[in-house]
Amino acid sequence: MKSGKRRTAEDVTEGIDLTGKTALITGVNSGIGQETLRVLSLRGAHVIGTGRTLAKAEEGCAVATGTATAFECELSDLDSIRRCTEKIRSRSQSLDIIVANAGIMTPAKLNQANGIELQFATNHLGHFLLLTSLMELFSIGCRVVIVSSEAHRATPRGGIDFGNLSGENGYRALRAYAQSKLANILFANSLSRRLAGRGTVNSLHPGLVRTN
C-alpha cells in the first residue's frame, strides 16, 4: 500500500462511487485541476470544468473518462464569472463537490483587474463571487475545497493590507500572493460556518507541485 506522498488521486479514491454526483472544478486545463477532474470523472462524477477560455476548459475536460462539461470562466473578469454561473444554473440542479483550484502566482510585474492587484482579484475575489453565486445549488452534504497555500504566512504584518489591494503602494509579488491565499483560508472558514449542517468546507496546502 502506498503511503504519504507516493499516494495518487486514484489511490485515495479507490472504492468510491460518485455516480450521480456533480463536481465543479476551476482551472482544469492543467496540473492539480486536470488530475482532479480526471479522477473524479473516473469515479463516476459528472464534472463541470472551467478555464480562462473555453478552449482551455475543453482541453482539461478532454481527459475525462466519464462525462465532463467545459465552461469559460475568467476569474479576474466579473462579467465572465456571472455568465458562467448563469450557464451552470441553467444546466445543473445541484452541485455536490466544488474544488476552487484555479489561480495565478507571483507575476513579476504589477497587474490589475478592476483596480485590484491581479492575484487577489483572481485567486480570492473571483472564487468568492463564483461560489457565493452558486450556493443555491449546493446539495445537502456537499463538499467544498478551496486550494490555498502555506505561503499565506508571508503576508504583511497584520495580515491582508486592505489599504493597498491595488498593489500601487508597493508591489511585492510573493506578499501579494500570500494575501490572496490568506483570503482563501478566511473565506473557507466563513463559508464553513454558513454551510454548517448542510455541507463541509476545507482549505488546503497542496504541497510543492510541479505544474505550470
DSSP code of residue 122: I
What CA–CA distance (Å, rounded) separates 65 from 34?
12
Confirm whether 171 is a catalytic residue: yes
What CA–CA distance (Å, rounded) separates 71 from 79?
14
Which helix (H) or strand (E) segment is 25 a member of?
strand 22-26
Catalytic one among 44, 171, 173, 204?
A: 171
What CA–CA distance (Å, rounded) separates 206 from 51?
19
Q: All 3 cell numbers of residue 17?
A: 462511487
Angle in degrees, CA 137, 142, 144, rounded to 5? 95
Catalytic residues: 171
